[in-house]
Each structure stands twice: as structure tokens, then as C-alpha cells.
């Protein structure tokens, strides 16, 4: 029993040190503050503010809960061990092993120290070189990420989707929410993805190479996180095209926001309201600027340069080969698998883990 007590003590000490690194006490204090706000009688009078606070509370609770449960469980185990009841040793050992496994899983969060790692994600896919094959490849990637989201019980919202000329998509933008450290986990998907296969779009079934670019951005929906100067913005409104109902097609509901210093432009026409489209466009613009600032190690937004999209194509982060052999290989980590279909069906966790180990 003494050896068991020692193991319990060591694990509890390690868990407490990890919780301190994650600043669990600060998070719990903030959680209490948010819950006090939510308990006020007039909480829902300002619906937008109430929704923001509710989301903050849910995100924080999701992050705090497993650590608090683990610490409480270890405290209870210590109390049981202190009874020195030999008949309970087997049960304590089993619970200790479960706690050790839980900690091994939780401690992966220690690697998420980036300023936006705990944010939700805006993921965009753009067809690149390769014509119809590339547009089909973009749709295959869209399916892959949606499958990954579904497997992890996350929430996905389609912000924008543009159909291809003959097949597939030209582009699509998703918002992914409902998980812990989503940007930290998915940031490694950002880059150019290359597909090699026999083309289903020509009679000779020749081998074709297609490219698609994936942008992964942290959702910056709080204006104070990335402050935009009004004089740096050009906002255009215009009549939306395509499907969406009569009100979409006959009113100037579509919005394009351009950040003049960098030339970054975001156009949204999915929502019925011009105000909704503007808010969505501003959120994506802040997110793109935040991600660029991280990439360029810029101290302020004034130091951020516009993205050089053309230079990135051909510099793929991952190759997916379906013919003449089967393989997916990440060029940064060296991770490879001979089962590309499994990856395309959404099994991205091994690739994500390999990237997280590398950075």
C-alpha cells in the first residue's frame, strides 16, 4: 500500500504542476465570474452580449472540467489509500491506472501555448492548378474535413461555397467549433495539398496532378483581439447572386471588406442581412490578419504584409497519391500511410499528432 500511496502522490504532484502551467486557477476564477453574470436577472436583455458570454462559459468549462475532475478523483483516491484497507488495493490500483491514462491524454494540451490555440477555426479550401480535377480535389478535401469534424462531435457551419464549373468546388469556407484547442490542432493543415491520381474526367484516364490550398484561421470574433482602423477598410455592398431566395437576389445584401494596407479582401453573400454579412466578413478579415501576423512574426498589424498566394502553390505540405501506388505523406513530418482512403474518410488524427510532435 505504501508504494501505491507514493505513486498517487507523485501523479497528483505532476497533475497539479501541469494545471498550474495551464493557469487552471485563473480559468476557474473567470468561469465563476461568467456564471455569476449569467445568473443575473437581466442577463438576456442584451441578447448578443448574452450569447457571447454563454459561448465563453461553454468553451472555458469544456477546457477546465477534465482537469478539475482528474484532480478531484486523485484527491478521493488519496483519501481511500489513507484508510490502509488492503481489500481496497485492487480498486485503487485500477483507478490509479485510469487516472494515469487520463493525464497522458490531457497533458497533450500543454503543447498548446499559442495566443489563438484555444480558438475555434475558420477553414477555407481553394481549388488550385489542375482545372476540373483540382475542383474535384477541393471537394474531396471538403468531405475529408467534414468527416473529421463529425467523428469528433464538433459543430460545422458552411460560411461560403462556390460550385465548380463541371464538378467539385472552386472554394468553400467552414467555421468549426465545439472542441478544445481547435486552432492549435488544425493549424498544421494550413498549406497546399497535392493529389496524384488517374483522372476521372478524361477518356484516357491519364495520371493527373492537382493542387488545392487550405487556409486555417483562428476565429477572431472579438474586435479587441485584432483592432481594425476604419480608415484602413474599404467596404463595398452589392447585389448577391446565385441561390438563396428572392431577398438575396434583389437586395444589396452582399458585402466585400478590403483591408487596404495588405490588400486582403473578404466577400460574403450567404446571409440575408447586409449587417450579418458585414460582421461575418469582418470576423474572417480579423482572423486572416491574426494568422498572417503569426506567420510573419509581426509585432503589430502595421508590420503585416499581404499574403503571397502564388508563391505557396507547388510548395505542398502533403502529397496524396492514389496512382500508380497508394500513399499519403506529409512533407514536413515524414509521416506516411499506405491507406489514403482512410485519410480521405477523415482519419486525420495521426497526421495531426505527427505535426504537433514536430513543432
pLDDT at 292: 86
CA–CA separation, 56 and 172 (whole Å): 27
Q: Above 80 in pLDDT, residue 244? A: no
CB distance 285 to 271 below 8 Å: no
Q: Does 242 have pLDDT greater than 70? A: no
pLDDT score recorded for residue 310: 43
Sign of CA dihedral 193, 168, 292, 216: negative
With a cut of 70, say whether residue 306 has pLDDT above it: no
d(CA 122, CA 176): 6
Q: How would residue 38 be classed by pLDDT, with cut points 50, 70 and 90?
A: very high
Which residue in 96, 66, 129, 113 sits closest to 5, CA to CA?
Answer: 96
* β-pair partners for 192: 213, 316
Strands 207-218 and 121-127: antiparallel
Q: What is the pLDDT of residue 94?
A: 94
pLDDT number for residue 107 = 85
| Mean pLDDT, rounded, for 70-76 | 94
Please name which of 161, 235, 210, 219 lies closest in space to residue 187, comparing C-alpha atoms. 219
In this prediction, residue 323 has a pLDDT band, given cuts at 50, 70 and 90, of: very high
- The answer to whether residue 53 scores a pLDDT higher than 50 is yes
Structural domains of the chain sorted by starting position, each given as residue range(s) with its CATH number in brackets:
2-111 (1.20.58.410)
How much is the pLDDT for 91?
92
Q: Which of 192, 153, 154 is nearest to 175 (CA)?
A: 154
What is the model's pLDDT at position 271? 62
Q: What is the mean pLDDT of residues 133-153?
A: 97
Query: What cell does 98 get?
Result: 485510469
CA distances from 69 to 16, 25, 26, 179 (A): 12, 14, 16, 18
**Least confident window among 107-121, 152-166, 179-193:** 107-121
What is the greatest pairwise CA distance in the chain?
78
Residue with cell 505540405: 317
Q: How many Å from the N-terminal Cα to the C-terminal Cα in the chain?
A: 41
In this model, does residue 193 exceed pLDDT 50? yes
CA separation for the pair 25, 22 (Å, rounded): 9
For 250-281, write each residue's pLDDT tens digit. 567 889 999 999 899 999 887 668 888 998 99
Give the total residue count for the chain: 359
Element spanning 160, H or E? strand 155-163
For residue 193, give the nearest of 208, 177, 215, 178 by alpha carbon. Answer: 215
If DSSP codes are grouped into helix, strand and coil, which group holds residue 123? Answer: strand
Rama region for 131: left / alpha / beta (φ>0; ψ in -120 to 50; rest): left
Residue range 201-223: mean pLDDT, rounded: 87
Cell of 179: 472542441
Counting Cβ atoms within 10 Å, is residue 13 exposed (0-12), middle (13-18) or buried (19+)?
exposed
Q: Per-residue pLDDT for 95 more than 50? A: yes
pLDDT at 71: 95
At residue 217, the pLDDT reads 92
CA atoms within 13 A on the CB side of 338: 2
pLDDT at 248: 46
Question: What pTM does this model have?
Answer: 0.78
Mark residue 263 as left, alpha or beta (left: phi above 0; alpha: psi -120 to 50; beta: remaining): left
215/189 Cα distance (integer angstroms): 8
d(CA 64, CA 28) in angstroms, rounded, equals 7
Amino acid at each position: 500500500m505504501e508504494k501505491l500511496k507514493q505513486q498517487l502522490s507523485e501523479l497528483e504532484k505532476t497533475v497539479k504542476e501541469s494545471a498550474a502551467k495551464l493557469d487552471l486557477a485563473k480559468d476557474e476564477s473567470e468561469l465563476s465570474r461568467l456564471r455569476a453574470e449569467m445568473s443575473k436577472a437581466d442577463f438576456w436583455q442584451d441578447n448578443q452580449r448574452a450569447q457571447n458570454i454563454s459561448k465563453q462559459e461553454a468553451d472555458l468549462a469544456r477546457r477546465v472540467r477534465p482537469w478539475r475532475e482528474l484532480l478531484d478523483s486523485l484527491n478521493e483516491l488519496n483519501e481511500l489509500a489513507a484508510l490502509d484497507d488492503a481489500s481496497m488495493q485492487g480498486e485503487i490500483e485500477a483507478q490509479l491506472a485510469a487516472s494515469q491514462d487520463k493525464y497522458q491524454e490531457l497533458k497533450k494540451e500543454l503543447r498548446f501555448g499559442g495566443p489563438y490555440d484555444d480558438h475555434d477555426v475558420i477553414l477555407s479550401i481553394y481549388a488550385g492548378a489542375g482545372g476540373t480535377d483540382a475542383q474535384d480535389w477541393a471537394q474531396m478535401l471538403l468531405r475529408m474535413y467534414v468527416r473529421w469534424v463529425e467523428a469528433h462531435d464538433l459543430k460545422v457551419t458552411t460560411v461560403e461555397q462556390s460550385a465548380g464549373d463541371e464538378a467539385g468546388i472552386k472554394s468553400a469556407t467552414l467555421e468549426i467549433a465545439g472542441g478544445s484547442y481547435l486552432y492549435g490542432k488544425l493549424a498544421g493543415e494550413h498549406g497546399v495539398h497535392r493529389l496524384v491520381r488517374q483522372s476521372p474526367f478524361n477518356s484516357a484516364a491519364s495520371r493527373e496532378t492537382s493542387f488545392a490550398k487550405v487556409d486555417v484561421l483562428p476565429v477572431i470574433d472579438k474586435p479587441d483581439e485584432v483592432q481594425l482602423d476604419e480608415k484602413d477598410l474599404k467596404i463595398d455592398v452589392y447585389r448577391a447572386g446565385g441561390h438563396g431566395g428572392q431577398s438575396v437576389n434583389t437586395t444589396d445584401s452582399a458585402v466585400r471588406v478590403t483591408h487596404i494596407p495588405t490588400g486582403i479582401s473578404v466577400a460574403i453573400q450567404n446571409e440575408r442581412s447586409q449587417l450579418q454579412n458585414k460582421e461575418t466578413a469582418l470576423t474572417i478579415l480579423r482572423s486572416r490578419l491574426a494568422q498572417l501576423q503569426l506567420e510573419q512574426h509581426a509585432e503589430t498589424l502595421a508590420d503585416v504584409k499581404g499574403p503571397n498566394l502564388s508563391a505557396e502553390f507547388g510548395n505542398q505540405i502533403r502529397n496524396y497519391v492514389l496512382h500508380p501506388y497508394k500513399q499519403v505523406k506529409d512533407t514536413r513530418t515524414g509521416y506516411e500511410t499506405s491507406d489514403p482512403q482512410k485519410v480521405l474518410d477523415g482519419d486525420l488524427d495521426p497526421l495531426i499528432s505527427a505535426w504537433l510532435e514536430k513543432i
